[in-house]
Amino acid sequence: MEEKAIYSRPDSLTDRPMHYCPGCGHGTVHKLIAEVVDEMGIREKTIGIAPVGCAVLAYFYMRFDVMEAAHGRTPAVATGVKRVLPDKLVFSYQGDGDLAAIGMAETIHAANRGENISVVFINNAVYGMTGGQMAPTTLTGQKTATSPGGRLVETMGPPVKMCELLNTLDRPYHIERVALDGPAGVRKARKAIRTIFEAQRDGKGYGFVEVLSPCPTYQRCTPVESLKFVGNDMAATFPLGLFRRGGERIDA
């Protein structure tokens, strides 16, 4: 009997097995980006900017042009690429330390300029590559290598909410937060990434998707428990949904 694949590994993903820990959300989002690139037929126009962090090696898994950036400078590098290659699809892929700590200035200002780029923000509430230190998005009370007693608001501040922060700016076109808390969350994430990629293609401007993402290793749980951590604990601090659509703020 003839068979047809209704889902298969996207072409824009290389054949190389990824180095991430089992259950890590980076692989999921790499896959989603590759799927969207394939769906839109833009593999030969896509340029990815990889961060410093666990996803620094993202370029091994993406079958299109990719470059590295210094820690946190990804939006500035993306700006430098996009301004001279306006007809290409340029996205920056960043973790929470890269985007919301060391790279906060570049993040805010690229958004404020309304750069016609797409930013995919992986928020897993912890630094992965360096060994589970506190991130700007670590939850209040969450234990990490550098907040062994749990994140204390009095001395460490509360988690930084990037969608809300960026939503105060006038120029972003699309801001959305999704969570990889199950298959439905993954589909929403895919749709959100497609939305900002299409917005860029159509010259609409800056798109930002925050993906609450599992990091079983440093969220200190199993992959399955990690889905719950993302969907329950993280989503309680970082409300899911649309913040900006078509350049208009969405009322909460």
Partner 1 sequence: MGDRVLMTGNDAVGEGAVRAGCDAYYGYPITPQNELTAYMALHMPAKGRVFIQAESEVAAINMVFGTAAAGKRAMTSSSSPGISLKQEGISFLAGAELPAVIVNVQRGGPGLGNISPSQADYFQAVKGGGHGDYHQIVLAPDSVQEMHDLTILAFELADRYRTPVMVLTDGRLGQMMEPLVLSEGPAPAPPDKPWAINGAAGREPNLIRSLYLVEGELEQLNIRLQKKYARISESEKRWEERDTGDCDILLVAYGTSARIAKGAAAEARAAGIRAGVFRPVSLWPFPGERLRELASQARRILVVEMSAGQLIEDVRLSVGERVPVDLEGRMGGGIPSVSDVLARLRALDTEGR
Partner 2 sequence: MSRKFRVLINSTYCKACELCVAVCPKSVLAVGRSTTSKGIHCAETVAPDSCIGCKACSDICPEAAIEIRVEGDGQDRK
Does position 113 interact with partner 1 (CB under 8 A)? The reply is yes
Please say whether the beta carbons of 75 and 106 come within 8 A.
Answer: yes
Residues 159-198 that bind partner 2 (CB under 8 A): 182-183, 186-187, 190
The radius of gyration of the chain from alpha carbons, rounded to an integer in Å, stands at 17
Query: Does residue number 162 form part of the binding site for partner 1 (CB under 8 A)?
Result: no
CB of 169 to partner 1, least distance (A): 13
Q: Does 33 bind partner 1 (CB under 8 A)?
A: no
Residue closer to partner 2 (CB basis): 13 or 163: 13
Q: Which residues contact 252 (CB under 8 A, 6 or more apart)?
A: 239
Alpha-carbon distance of 67 to 221, in angstroms, equals 32
Q: How far apart are CA 4 and CA 2, in angstroms?
A: 7
> CA torsion sign, 37 to 42 to 44 to 48?
negative
**252 near partner 2 (CB under 8 A):** no
Residue from 222, 233, 242, 245 that binds partner 2 (CB under 8 A)? 222
User: Please, what sign has the CA dihedral across residues 218, 224, 229, 235?
Assistant: positive
What does 99 bind: partner 1, partner 2, none (CB cut-off 5 to 8 Å by kind)?
Answer: none
Q: Which is nearer to partner 1, 60 or 140 (CB)?
A: 60
Q: Which residues bind partner 1 (CB under 8 A)?
A: 43-47, 49, 56-57, 59, 62-70, 73, 76-85, 88, 105-106, 108-109, 113
